[in-house]
Amino acid sequence: MAKITLNNLSHSYVPDYTDSDLVLRDINIDWKDGGAYALLGPSGCGKTTLLNIISGLIKPSKGDILFDDKNVTSLNPVERDIAQIFQFPVIYDTMTVYDNLAFPLKNRNLSDTEIDSKVREIAEMLELTSTLNNRASGLTADGKQKISLGRGLVRSDVNVIMFDEPLTVIDPHLKWILRSKLKELHQKINRTMIYVTHDQTEALTFADQVVVMHEGQIVQTGTPVELFEKPKHTFVGYFIGSPGMNILPCQIKNGQINFAGQEIPSNLNIKKNNFQTTQLGIRPEFINFSDKGIPVKIKRVSNTGRHKIIDTECAGGTIKVLSNASTEIPSGSAHINFDKKYTYVYGDNWIIE
């Protein structure tokens, strides 16, 4: 077990790189020992590259990786003592389930009795005991992925266990089961776990701390609640939540927000105003209909069962509003108010505080 520190990490897949070749830029992370963390971002944001750098499969172009303050940047995956589970199940076709689980231990020259007790313990945990003597290649996709998980979990000495979108190939109803199993395992064995995914539900339910990545950069690190209530970057606002945050063009005049010709009340005190673009961010959950306020036209109401999502038109753009399913929605013209506690302003996409 170890705490993990990443210092000014940058990476490019080309040897002589310029700034535009970077797939990761200036990554700084401090992860506590025994925590559950998620790397969340869309495809191509660099999260898998970052994971492979932490595991040692890729050497970073710049920066350092520290496990418990020990620099491991030049060490290979075996020396770093980590476990990694991949997107697609990786199993050794010709071996039985038992031999698959025992393989990482055999390579580390453990005694047979030790191997046997560990393998049986993990098999029990993952409900693989009944298939231990079967050929691994005959299993279903989720059975195979359980073996991959098992091979990662079987070693008790690993510094960190990393998951690279491990539930992609699993059926939706099994996803829930395996995900809660992982959470349960984390509580039981208390090892540092890093989970890479593009699925916000997976990230938010698994992790204590979520790192949101966008175009090779970390845009925000925080608890699921922080990411939801106070997105530090427009991308976080838009990527987390369903529907995402409303990002509306606005002006700053005398420290006040001006949107659609109206002054928007907020708790902010904006001093700096030297941005190319300024935008107002408000989550659909924090908008109410009222008698006065910003005039909008109701365009469409979709009912999801628990909520109503209302598309409104205002100043040539769309503002989404989320209400309870029981709320009466005015038709035609209406007025809306923003909850000023959750109204934020973004200068060049970063929050202004």
Residues that bind another protein (CB under 8 A): 52, 55, 57, 76-78, 82-84, 86-88, 90, 92-95, 103-104, 107-108, 135, 137-138, 148, 151
In angstroms, the CA 5 to CA 30 distance is 5
Nearer to another protein, 77 or 241 (CB): 77
- Tell me the closest approach of the beta carbon of residue 84 to another protein, in angstroms: 5
Nearer to another protein, 77 or 222 (CB): 77
Nearer to another protein, 84 or 343 (CB): 84
Task: Identify residue 66 by its one-letter amino acid code.
Answer: L
Nearer to another protein, 137 or 302 (CB): 137
Residue 194's beta-bridge partner residues?
37, 162
Upper half-sphere CA count for residue 237 (Cβ side, 13 Å): 25
Nearer to another protein, 107 or 187 (CB): 107
Answer whether 130's CB lies under 8 Å from 161's CB: no
Nearer to another protein, 165 or 202 (CB): 165
Beta pairing class for 294-303 and 307-314: antiparallel
- Tell me the closest approach of the beta carbon of residue 63 to another protein, in angstroms: 21
In angstroms, the CA 43 to CA 115 distance is 38
Answer whether 235's CB lies under 8 Å from 77's CB: no
Q: For residue 292, which of 345, 329, 333, 248 has the smallest C-alpha distance?
A: 333
- Tell me the closest approach of the beta carbon of residue 164 to another protein, in angstroms: 9
In angstroms, the CA 204 to CA 336 distance is 30
- Tell me the closest approach of the beta carbon of residue 92 to another protein, in angstroms: 5
Structure tokens given for 264: 């928007």
Which phi-psi region, left, alpha or beta, contains residue 316 (left: φ > 0; alpha: ψ -120 to 50)? left
Answer whether 23's CB lies under 8 Å from 49's CB: yes
Nearer to another protein, 52 or 278 (CB): 52
Helix (H, G, I), strand (E, B) or coil at 1: coil
